[in-house]
Amino acid sequence: MRLLLVEDEERLGRALQRGLQSEGFAVDLAGDGASGLELALHGEYDAMILDVMLPRLSGYRVVRALRAERNWMPVLMLSAKDGEYDQADGLDCGADDYLTKPFSYVVLLARLRALLRRGAPERPSVLTVGTLRLDPACHRVSRGGHEVSLTIREYALLEYLMRRPGEVVSKTEILDHVWDASLDTAPNAVEVYIGYLRRKLGRDLLETVRGAGYRLRTP
Ligand code: CA
């Protein structure tokens, strides 16, 4: 297994490199974001360990650029920040997992092995279905290039349907995945919100499949 390690703190970088090599990994080390991205795009790596705060190009930007090139290598991000928002930022921009510094080397290895087992399935960070586009990183939705403003619930419903384009999704599945189980949800909530989405995004987009559920039409 070949790993790419992008870390600008030299001592930490070297120590991690040595540790991972002693586990049998081949490890290339880059000291800044730009050279890390360059290596990532042109090398054959099984996973990348990526610091967030890097000279030349931040870890967030590296992983975004990588996903934009449709490169799905597993990415484990490292950061000294520990705010919830940073973690969400990292995951939204396309990273697969996140560790806060200082971290335990044993935990790093365990997380890394879990990522390697999962491999690199295709998972674009921006969802597109026809002219419909949803960017989870900034919670933006547009259709045909026009931005559409959605409430949190409408957005969650649309995101769920966009992750299963062309499939019939039952009302129960939608309730389970989009509505908080602790909330007392009105039985017709799904119909009501499908109606809101139709109004905002166009009536042609969401098809009602009688007795079965709803389907997001694909072009
Ligand atoms: Ca750093």
Residue 148 Cα to ligand 1 midpoint, Å, equals: 37
Q: What is the pLDDT of residues 7-58, one digit of tens each?
A: 999 999 999 999 999 988 889 999 999 999 999 999 889 899 999 989 999 9
68 and 166 co-located in one domain: no
pLDDT computed for residue 122 by the predictor: 64
pLDDT computed for residue 38 by the predictor: 96
Of 118, 144, 169, the residue that ends a domain is 118
Amino acid at 183: L
CATH number reported for the structural domain that contains residue 187 in this entry: 1.10.10.10
pLDDT computed for residue 140 by the predictor: 84
83 and 154 co-located in one domain: no
Domain coverage including residue 39: 2-118
Residue 12 Cα to ligand 1 midpoint, Å, equals: 10
Q: How far is C-alpha 213 from the chain's CA centre?
A: 27
DSSP string, 123-139: --SSEEETTEEEETTTT
Residue 214 Cα to ligand 1 midpoint, Å, equals: 46
65 and 43 co-located in one domain: yes
Residue 123 Cα to ligand 1 midpoint, Å, equals: 26
Of 101, 118, 135, the residue that ends a domain is 118
Share of the chain above pLDDT 90, in %: 55
Distance CA 5, CA 10 (A): 11
Residue 52 Cα to ligand 1 midpoint, Å, equals: 6
Residue 46 Cα to ligand 1 midpoint, Å, equals: 22
Claim: this prediction has a pTM higher than 0.85: no
* Mean pLDDT of the 152-178 span: 89
Residue 32 Cα to ligand 1 midpoint, Å, equals: 9
Number of structural domains, the chain?
A: 2
Of 64, 86, 118, the residue that ends a domain is 118
Using only C-alpha atoms, what is the Rg of the chain? 20
109 and 169 co-located in one domain: no
Residue 79 Cα to ligand 1 midpoint, Å, equals: 7
114 and 180 co-located in one domain: no
16 and 62 co-located in one domain: yes
Q: Is the pLDDT of residue 180 over 80?
A: no
* Mean pLDDT of the 55-74 span: 90
15 and 79 co-located in one domain: yes
Residue 218 Cα to ligand 1 midpoint, Å, equals: 42
172 and 132 co-located in one domain: yes
Residue 31 Cα to ligand 1 midpoint, Å, equals: 9
CATH number reported for the structural domain that contains residue 32 in this entry: 3.40.50.2300
pLDDT-based confidence at residue 97 (cuts at 50, 70, 90): confident
Ranges assigned E (strand) in the chain? 2-6, 26-30, 47-51, 75-79, 97-100, 127-129, 132-135, 140-143, 146-148, 168-169, 206-209, 213-216
pLDDT-based confidence at residue 132 (cuts at 50, 70, 90): very high
Query: Which of 132, 135, 102 lies closest to 197, judged by CA?
Result: 132
pLDDT computed for residue 183 by the predictor: 62
102 and 135 co-located in one domain: no
